[in-house]
Structure 1
Amino acid sequence: MIYFDNSATTKAAPEVVDTYAKVSERFWGNPSSLHNVGEQAFNLLEQSRQQIADLVGAKLSEILFTSGGTEGDNWVIKGTAIAKREFGNHLITTEVEHPAVYNTMAQLETLGFDVTYLPVDENGRVSAEDLRAAIRPSTILVSTMAVNNEIGAIQPLDEIAAVMRDFPRIHWHIDAVQGIGKGLMDHIFNDRVDFVTFSGHKFHAPRGIGFMYKRQGRKIAPLMTGGGQERDLRSGTENLPAIVAMAKALRLLLDDEDEKVKRQREIRLAILHHVEKFPKVTIFSKESPLFAPHILCFAIAGVRGETIVHAFEQHEIYISTTSACSSKKHMESSTLKAMKIDDGIATSAIRISLDEHNTMAEAEKFNQVFDELYTQFEKLS
C-alpha cells in the first residue's frame, strides 16, 4: 500500500500509540483532583505542555490544548469576536481558508459581524497590500492559513507580519495545521503572531487532540465553560493520554526536520516532473519555493477527480481530491475557485500529500501506475 493522503490524516506513530497506552494505564487520575493520583496526572500534563512550548519556542503559559484544528480555529475566531466586540465587528480572512475558518466567519456574519475575504493570485496567495487596504478602525482579527490544504501554497507570512506590526491591537491568527514540520516554524512563530492552531492527527498523534499558541497578554473568550481547566479558557477534563502522545509525536516530527523536508520535496518534484509531461495534465502546485514540500495538486482534463482517486485505489495507492473535508460532500474546490480556475478542469483536480515516511520508490511506483491509467483515461475520452 502507498499512502499519499497525509494532509487528510497521518498514521499514528508506533511510539506514540505506545505512549498513549502507557499513560492510559498508569496515569488515570483527573489532573484537577487534589490527591496524589491527580497530582501525578497534573504534573505529567504540565510536563507535556512545557515540552511542546520548548519545541515551538513559546512559554508554558502560551500553550493551550484543544480537540484539534477545527476547535482551535473556531475558538480563536469566535473567542476574539466575543472578547473584542466592544472594539469593533470587522474580521479579515482569505478566500482560500479551510472550512473551519471560512464557515466560522460565515456564521459570525449572520450574527452581525462584517467579514472581508481577501482574494488570491494565480498561485493561491494573498497580497499584503490588499490586507493593509482592507484594515479598518473596526478590525479586530486577521486570520490566515500558513499552508493551503488543497494546493500547498504558502501564504506570505513575513509580509503579513510586516503589515500587522503597524496594527498591534488587532489579533492575528495563523492556521498552521498543514504547516507544522515543513520547515516553516520561523515564519509561523514570528514576533507578531498572536494565535496559532495545530491538529495532532496531522503529525502522527492520535485524533481528537490539538494545541493552540496564545501570545501572553492577548485576550480571548472561552467557548467551553465549566470547571475552569486550561487557565479558565477551555473547561473539560484534559485528555491526558492524547496530550502526552501528541507531545511525543511533535518531538519526533521536529527531529531532523530539515532532512525530512528535503526528502519530501524531492519526492514531490519526482512526481511533478513526471506528470507535467502529459498534455492533459494541469499542475496547480508549481515547482516554486512558494509551495510547501509535501502537497502536489494537479488535474487530468476530462476525468473527474473522484474517478482518478478510485482508479489509483485499485492499485492500492491512496490519494484524494482537493480536500478530505469536502470530498464526500462533492463540494467544489474553494481554492481553485478563488484562483479562477475553470470548473471543467477544477473538477478533475486531485491531491497528493506526503509525510516523512514516504519514499522515492513509492513515487516511482506512482509514476508507473499513472502512465497506465493515463492511457486508459485517454481511451475513455
Structure 2
Amino acid sequence: MDTHSPTSSQKSKVTLTNWVRLSNAPLLLSRASAVQWNDYVFVLASDGRALFYHSKHNIWSMLPKSPYTSANLAPALTLYKGRILTTSVNGEMSTFDSQLCQWTVVKDLNLFEGSGPRIIASDNNILYSVVDFKTQVQQEYEQIRRSDNFRQVSYKHTECTVFSYDPSSKWEKICEIGSSPLKSAAVVGGTLFVHAGQDMFKLTQPVQPEVAANPKLEINTILPSAQTTTELNFGMQALAVSHTGINAHNIPRNLPPQGQLQSATACASPTYAGSTLHAIKETLFSFGGRDKDNQPTSDVLRYNPDTDTWESAGYMRSARYNVAVAIVQDTIIDVIVLGGSFGSSEHIMTERAVESDSKTTPIRPPWNNMTSIVEKCTVN
C-alpha cells in the first residue's frame, strides 16, 4: 500500500472508460479538428468542409466550406473570445460568422511569417500559433516528350516556432522548438504541449503584472506599481488576484527581458504515432494512434507530470488514429471523439499483379481506411 501523500495530479486523475457510439458523421473524417460552440460541436475537415453537431439532439448540419484546406495535419481550429477561428498555411486567419453563415477574414489576426502547417490554440483569452516553418526548395525539370517546362516544388522541414497574441502586443515570437514535423498540440493549465517529430515539449512562460487603476483606494495604501486588482497576463495564462495591500514580495521579479525567446522543456513523447493531444480538467490526454506495427489502437493515455510518464486512462470502442477531439461542457463534461483512420495501406496492404491485354501492372487493392465514427465518454 502506498503510504505517500498523493500529489495534486494524483488527486485529480480522470479515467475515460464509459464510451458509447453516437450517430456517424455524414463525412469521412480522416483528419479533422473540432471545438465546442454553445450547444454544438463545430467540426472542420481537411478539405475545408465544415459541420455542426448538436450534441443534445444528435443532429448534424452541413455548413459552408472553409477558405483553407490542410494536407498532412488536422486543420487549424480554435475558439478565441467566442469566435471560431481557422488559419491557412500562409497565416491568413478567418472566422465563421454563425449569423451570416459564412467565413470572414480577420485581418488583425493574420500572421504572415513563414509558410507551413500550423496549429492554433487559445487559453484564458490568449491566442497561440505553432508554425512548422519549411524552406521551399524548387527544382525545375524539362518534360522532353511535350517540350513543356514544369516546376516541382518541395519543402524541407526546419523547426516549429511558437507565437502568442493578445490585443496589446499583437503577434510575438516566444519560442523556437528544434524539432519537426509538427503533429499535435494542446494547452493544459497554462502550459503549452507541442508534439513535433519524435519528441514532445512543454512551454510555461512566467507572468508579469499589469496595473489596473482603482479610484476607491487611497494612494498610500498600495505600491505605485500594483493595485487592488492586478492582472497577470503574459504568455501562457491570464490570472486575476485581489489584495487589500500588496508588497514587493507579491510581484514576480524573474521576468525575461522583453523580446527574449523562452526555452521549451523536453518531456515524455506520446506512446503512439498519430495520437491526438487534448486537455480535460487540467490534464493532458492522448487519444488513439498507431502502435509499433502501424496498427491502430483504441488506447486513451493520461500524462503524469510528476513522473513524466504516460498512464492508461481507458479505451475507446474503436481503434483508430488522427482523430478529432472536442469537449462539450454543461452540467457534465462529455468527451467526443470523431473520425480518424483505421489503418494505412501504405503500411499493411501489399501490391498484387493485375494482368491487362498488353502488360502486367502492380496495383494496390482499393481500400478506404477513413472513418466517420463518433464516440462519447462522460467525465464523472
TM-score by length of 1: 0.24
> Relative CO higher for 1 or 2, CA cutoff 8 Å, sep ≥ 6?
1
Q: Over alpha carbons, which structure has the higher Rg?
A: 2
Could you say which structure has the higher helix fraction? 1
